Chains A and B, each alone.
Chain A
Amino acid sequence: NAGVTQTPKFQVLKTGQSMTLQCAQDMNHNSMYWYRQDPGMGLRLIYYSASEGTTDKGEVPNGYNVSRLNKREFSLRLESAAPSQTSVYFCASSERWGASLGETQYFGPGTRLLVL
């Protein structure tokens, strides 16, 4: 049981290049999330998928797109990378949607992205 996995672990891009960050979970969770973590700013929600087949914008969605490929996988795409997207990206999952219900989120190991 690997929990939440992410690929790649580290990536360097040039401005304008595109890439997709992959996330998968094997806990049969319904909800999945993408966060970015910047120094001094905590974790900010980019997009989430409350259940298979649905996606919604979070706090900082501009410049990103997502795909909930199936129940296990949730990918994050940068169509035209910018230096401001240099960050550490974390994927997370929870059994159900419901921050108000107290659904524990489990995080992946992160992807460190550098955009030059």
Chain B
Amino acid sequence: GENVEQHPSTLSVQEGDSAVIKCTYSDSASNYFPWYKQELGKRPQLIIDIRSNVGEKKDQRIAVTLNKTAKHFSLHITETQPEDSAVYFCAASIRDTGRRALTFGSGTRLQVQP
């Protein structure tokens, strides 16, 4: 199965509403969980990250929560604006055959309707 699963694949909200994107991971030893935002035709850019010793982290309208027991973490965007429209990727530090490396989810396309 996938190491990092991300849902939903697409999300449409009205401007001002909240948006929630969820990810689950397979490696119970994972300890770093970043979120990247990628606008159309642009490079992925880090928007927020969380480490396993923290349950929640906020940065203005963006927050990330982590449940290590359930092995899932979520991105919360409040008071959404049209400029929040983008593809969002979660990632987790997964140990595969070699060193621990970032493994990305498949992405969520967020559309904020004005």
User: In the bound complex, what is the Cα–Cα distance between A50 and B29 (angstroms)?
Assistant: 20
- Contact A40:B107 (CB < 8 A) given known A102-B32, A110-B43: yes
**Which residues of the partner chain A approach B46 to less than 8 Å between Cβ atoms?**
104-106
B43 touches A99 (CB 8 A): no
Is A58's CB under 8 angstroms from B43's CB? no
Q: How far, in whole Å, are A50 and B102 apart by their CA atoms in the complex?
A: 13
On chain B, the residues within 8 Å of A109 by CB distance are 42-43
Q: Which of chain B's residues have a CB closer than 8 A to the CB of A102?
A: 31-32, 34, 49, 51
With A42-B105, A42-B106 in contact, is A100–B44 under 8 Å at CB? no
Number of interface residues of A (CB under 8 A): 25
How many chain B residues sit at the interface, stated as a range, is 20 to 34
Contact B98 A100 (CB under 8 A): no
B44 touches A107 (CB 8 A): yes
Contacts of A108 in B (CB 8 A): 43
Residues of chain A within 8 A of B103, CB atoms compared: 45, 59
Question: Known contacts A45-B102, A100-B32, A104-B34: does B44 contact A59 (CB below 8 Å)?
Answer: no
A90 in contact with B43 (CB, 8 Å): yes
Could you pull out 10 A-B pairs where Cβ atoms are within 8 angstroms? A40-B9, A42-B106, A48-B101, A56-B98, A99-B32, A99-B93, A100-B93, A104-B46, A108-B43, A109-B43
